Amino acid sequence: MSVLDSMEAYLASDDYQNALQAPDVEPLRQYYYVGVLRKLRAQKEEQLGHPLYACTKTFGCQMKARDSEKIEGILKSAGYHLTEKEEEADVIIYNTCTVRENANTRVYGRLGYLNSLKKKKPHLMIILCGCMMQEAHVVEKIQKSYRFVDLIFGTYNVYQLAELMVRRMQSKKMVVEIWNKELGIVEELPTERKYSFKSGVNIMFGCNNFCSYCIVPYVRGRERSRDPKEIVEEVKRLADDGVVEIMLLGQNVNSYGKGLAEPVSFAQLLRMVSEVEGIKRIRFMTSHPKDLSQELIDAMAELPKVCKHLHLPVQSGSSRILKQMNRHYTKEQYLDLVKRLREAIPDISLTTDIIVGFPGETEEDFEETIDVVKQVEYDSCYTFIYSKRTGTPAAKMENQVPEDVIKDRFSRLLKVVGESSEKRTGLHLGQTVSVLVEEPNEQDDAMVTGRMDNNLLVHFRGGKRLIGQIVDVQLIECRGFYYIGELVLEN
Ligand code: SAH
Ligand code: SF4
């Protein structure tokens, strides 16, 4: 029985109809609150004379996007219509990120706008959740200066959304429910997938690495791996539901399985997931170089469903800075890893994350980073300006690099990164490759857009009925970072 069917069966049962209060056990407790929220929503719709819309905005990483799918699943089950337009919504949820300061600034900036919407539409419910809400100083500031916010919750209790919305509707004042650790994982709730044919799957939560610049371990807690059987079951359910591509998600997937009653390595998990019928492509992120084993390289080389793409954040090319960052590898070890990867999987596409301007970074350190980019020849790089995060060891380090120096280094880095991407992208010209068709082309109605195994985008002439299919496409023109292709064969 699907999760949705189980929930509906409970809501139709005498147990729910006769219940005087919410059950204590999950997920029944949340099913119960979805039922209550349905009734409250219907009453409100009757009062207002129109259906209620909910809008979720996601800031940040793939794991956050997955949480938003859970949020939308709950809202849809409670009968809300989903919209991307904030102006049209009766409930607005911001699922926030706090990895860099500018993510926080953006949210504060948008809150003023939400206040103006609420003035026009007093019943508008404003909800904030996600990593930023795990920081005490943020919650204090919102409670003090943004009193129009209705509900705040954190990263550990997303599954409680219906319960918390009901509490807000019944209490008439701001509800704040932040936990500082996980009190149980509830996965058996409906999710609203953004794409019908691909999905993220959480394999672990939190992070134990404490890179000295990073706030993630403080807002997402200690590393916990999900049971491999549960993961495989989830992947099977997704495959039954038409999903062909999955992305296994974790802050450091290479350390998957530590701490389980029967430890399983990430390479072993990949093999288990590979056996699920119907799944055609498997991706994963993120990999920490310090934990990337030869066993995983071998599994990637051997398993045909595993995409030949690896996101391997280097952060800096200077061994001295890497030590200060608490990354546990040197420039030489990283380059050796890349060499072994390219030997085992010659056509592998490598991408990375780089931070510019970590405290104490000298011109020589920065040149080491440039050198790594030139040597590795990444397909693409996510480049970040160092952002000081309160509470992390790096925030207290002396020698913070001046802004003008960082800006100059950043633009020099972008140039080298651009050259390397262009060179790599061009390598496939003329080849026929398999492409998972993802969406209609934004600019041209007669075209669709899809992704190659190595994550590069291809636009080609084709109908919308191809969406969700894997087709063969010949790459006829390279336009810098993407291709124009021609449909060869529908598989
Ligand atoms: N767990 C992943 C990445 C999580 S955060 C990993 O270890 O690779 C995503 C990226 O944001 C990081 O790889 C890093 O490059 C960047 N980042 C994290 N904290 C940052 C900070 N304080 N300033 C600038 N960039 C940061
Ligand atoms: Fe942050 Fe490092 Fe953990 Fe990645 S591995 S989430 S960068 S602490």
pLDDT in tens, 282-317: 999 999 999 999 999 999 999 999 999 999 999 999
> In the Cβ-directed half-sphere of 192, how many Cα atoms lie within 13 Å?
17
Question: 198 C-alpha to center of ligand 2: Å?
Answer: 25
Contact 64, 35 (CB under 8 A): no
99 Cα–ligand 1 center, Å: 7
- pLDDT tens digit sequence for 107-125: 999 999 999 999 999 999 9
Among the bound ligands, the one closest to the CA of 389: 1
Strand order in the sheet with 349-356: 309-311, 349-356, 380-385
pLDDT tens digits, 237-246: 999 999 999 9
Q: What is the mean pLDDT of the chain?
A: 94
At 1, the pLDDT band (50, 70, 90 cuts) reads confident
Write the residue with the smallest CA distance to atom 19 of ligand 1. Answer: 214
Looking at all shown ligands, the one closest to residue 210's CA atom is: 2
User: Which uninterrupted H or E stretch holds 486?
Assistant: strand 482-490
Q: What is the pLDDT of residue 279?
A: 97
Identify the nearest ligand to the CA of 220 by its number.
Answer: 2
Instruction: Please tell me the distance from the alpha carbon of residue 457 to that of residue 309, in angstroms, as a whole number.
Output: 13
Question: What is the reported pLDDT for 349?
Answer: 94
Among protein residues, the one with the nearest Cα to ligand 1's atom 4 is: 251
d(CA 146, CA 162): 22
- What percent of the chain stands above pLDDT 90? 87
Where does the pLDDT of residue 480 fall: very low under 50, low under 70, confident under 90, or very high at 90 and above? confident
Q: Given pLDDT bands bounded at 50, 70 and 90, which one contains residue 62?
A: confident
Ligand 1 surroundings by CB, under 6 angstroms: 99-100, 213-214, 216, 251-252, 286, 288, 313, 315, 353, 355, 384, 386-387, 389
pLDDT of 61 above 90: no
Split at pLDDT 50, 70, 90, the class of 330 is very high
Query: Quick one: average pLDDT of 270-292?
Result: 96
Establish whether residue 207 lines the binding site of ligand 2, counting it when its CB lies within 6 angstroms of any ligand atom.
yes
Q: How far is the CA of 61 from the centre of ligand 1 (A)?
A: 10
pLDDT for the residue 481: 84
Place of tokens 């001295």: 320
> Distance from the CA of 263 to the center of ligand 2, in angstroms?
22
